[in-house]
Structure 1
């Protein structure tokens, strides 16, 4: 009798074209594609963003998060070490921790009260020895064999990542330059969390990954950008990708946004001449850096976006829920040495992004427009050639080169290359 592992069946769906310029719509709509992604990508050899260390400042602090569609708990143990484990009881599979965040020496399942410590180790089992005449477990029952399933954990500048795979490269190698430089820039000072927002989007998670790698939609889709001069087609841009071409980072340079000229928007359809701000203080603030960058968007495969838009700093965690639905979880932060005026400024500018943001609300609507339109034509393709197929990935900051790179990396992990 053979003990060889069974052959893995080839996928029954088409992959992107070799150059990433054609992407079958069925990759956004099929449940079997979504299921394969959970194993090949989210449980594969990648690092998944799960939290910020600033959300877990004290021993036994925790936050519930997700890796793909798998619920996890991110925890700081008594000795300060970081841990991540699946939020699913080892007894009967119930969700253990139902709070979004908090401080707990034990995580206790409500169903049968199995209890786990801040490392995910089983430390309490009711009626383990039974009660007179009934119940209990065998004498050789070993709590050490029934802890919560653990993930590898690594952190860079307080940004926490987790992985199911033992084959994942070291975090710094996975991120690579210039992504490390982008993280180092925004987390160059100790940060404090200002709050969270979350929204459900009725679309596929990869549509949002495309969106954050697409710089040229910003001046076309977002009326606020165009009208108030925050992002203009004639601004200087710079960016780059890691060697594997999984991630992308880009910055926009411009005039002080408080003095942004609307004249740069001439010829843009989204420029609205009769719009003004009832509260002009929304655009007040002061630059956090002396490098002239007004917008910074860093996209780390598979599901993290780190942003600077004026004084608004945030991580965006893409949490896939189904082939046609994902949650977008925003964590807003500032710096621990911010004065009250700067904190107030960051909180006010948070109105630019998030579920009803003056800028961001159009992104989720555009994604849902796509999802509704492609549901019945899975073998048709999206068309990704803007900027030319031979554009320099590290120089093309207006085209679709980084989106095509995303699809090439995705295809490799999914076995579609």
Structure 2
């Protein structure tokens, strides 16, 4: 794009989103420092992915790779995958189990919690060389992050002086996180990953935009899983930083207002009814999607439970890592439904495959038009909670927060 385009937010405020925010490399670096590497709590894993002492998993916070490890005392640690000696990556496999970690370069050895345990040739050879006498292992461990485990979900932050996880989420969001992570032991069901050639914020917006789902996703409309007439709520929280989408009575008969949409999709049929026939799992009967800024979307759709981890890969791309889970004590029939309903999502999902394609096109549309802006006025111009899904209120509230945080 034209780098001479003024970096000034449109006068209309949060009802406009300038296209230069999706392409500017300098702004992108500021976002990483302000959000991912700042005082945010970032999702990194489920505790069932590292069930035993010595189990580890690589993860990402922004473009920084970290390692999630179960220690011998069963506590969970997260540290930067960067040797304290010369900066080489210590862990080269995505998952595994070890007694300790050894950097391949110079064989520095670290305990599961990241503390330095041993340095080869520390005292030199034949009285020559070696580390200085004042070198202390205690001062050269791997860089550890603050960790919070919430009902089986694992979160980390680089900020030693940032807010608690509870304060970062706020009471309304925290109560809904605990709804799907009530402390029951979790069961890992699977993964999928995809690289989407669009700016990472476009996916944050996409999950704050229930209105598009009733138009873009034919599968949802046809089988009544999500429609414009579904009883819904769109609730910005924490000043717009996070977003809550709630729907009820999913699967009810289409109303007159959705007849035109339904008519255009009526030729679609599905022989496997299990894929679109959820059972009631939660007493409140709600289906909920939570956007916890900056790194994750927690979804409950039909009977799937999943974490969508957003991993930026430069201004024009991000990786979306999907993790599907259930509860270790749930009936086998429910696990079977979760696996069936997981076909709705992921890179080839009956629903989610359209998102990757349309976000790619949106990025291409923004690329050379930094002087233009998107219009986000569906549902009005305010940033207050609304009791329907035909709205862009969550996007407006998010950019209210974003502008303040970024000083724009």
TM-score (normalizing by structure 2): 0.93
CA distance, structure 2, for counterparts of residue 200 and residue 317 of structure 1: 12
Please name the residue that 2:20 is paired with.
26
Q: Indicate whether 1:215 and 2:207 are aligned.
A: no
Over the residues paired in the alignment, what is the CA RMSD in angstroms? Answer: 2.1
Within 5 Å, which residues of 2 pair with 1:231-250? 231-250=226-245
Matching residue of 1:325: 317
Q: How far off its partner does 1:70 sit?
A: 0.6
Aligned to 2:106: 112
Cα shift readout 1:63-101 (whole Å, capped 9, x = no counterpart):
211111110111222112222111111122111112222
Aligned 1:262-411 pairs, distance under 5 A: 265-268=258-261, 271-293=264-286, 295-390=287-382, 392-395=384-387, 397-411=389-403
Q: Which runs of 4+ in 1 moved over 6 A?
A: none
Gaps of at least 5 residues in structure 1 are 1-11
Mapped to 2, the partners of 1:164 and 1:394 lie a distance apart of: 34
Deviations 1:163-214 (A, max 9, x none): 1113321111110132112111112233211111111111110000000000
Preserved contact between residue 72 and residue 86 of structure 1 (Cα < 8 Å): yes
Q: Deviations over 1:302-344 (max 9, x none)?
A: 1111001111110111011110111111110011112222212
Aligned to 1:3: none
Pair 18,146 (structure 1): closer, same or farther in 2 beyond 3 Å: farther
Partner of 2:3: none
Is contact 1:16-1:408 (8 Å) kept? Answer: no
Residue 120 and residue 18 in structure 1: after superposition, are their counterparts in 2 closer, same or farther (change >3 A)? farther
CA distance in 2, matches of 1:192, 1:56: 11
The Cα offsets for residues 16-67 of structure 1, whole Å up to 9 and x where unpaired, read as: 7674222221111111111111211112121111112222222222221111
CA distance in 2 between counterparts of 1:52 and 1:319 reads: 16
Number of residue equivalences: 402
- Residue deviations 1:105-156 (CA, integer Å, cap 9, x gap): 2122222222211111111222222234754222222122211111111122
Cα distance in 2 between the residues matched to 1:300 and 1:344: 28
Q: Does the 8 Å contact 1:297/1:308 carry over to 2?
A: yes
Equivalent residue, structure 2, for 1:173? 167
Deviation, 1:299, is: 0.4
Q: Of residues 47, 61, 72 in structure 1, which corresponds to 2:66? A: 72
Unmatched runs of 5 consecutive residues or more in structure 2: 1-5
CA deviation after TM superposition for structure 1 residue 377, in Å: 1.5
Corresponding residue of 1:60: 54
Q: Scaled by the length of structure 1, what TM-score is found?
A: 0.91
Structure-2 separation of matches of 1:22 and 1:215: 18
**Candidates 177, 185, 191, aligned match of 2:179:** 185
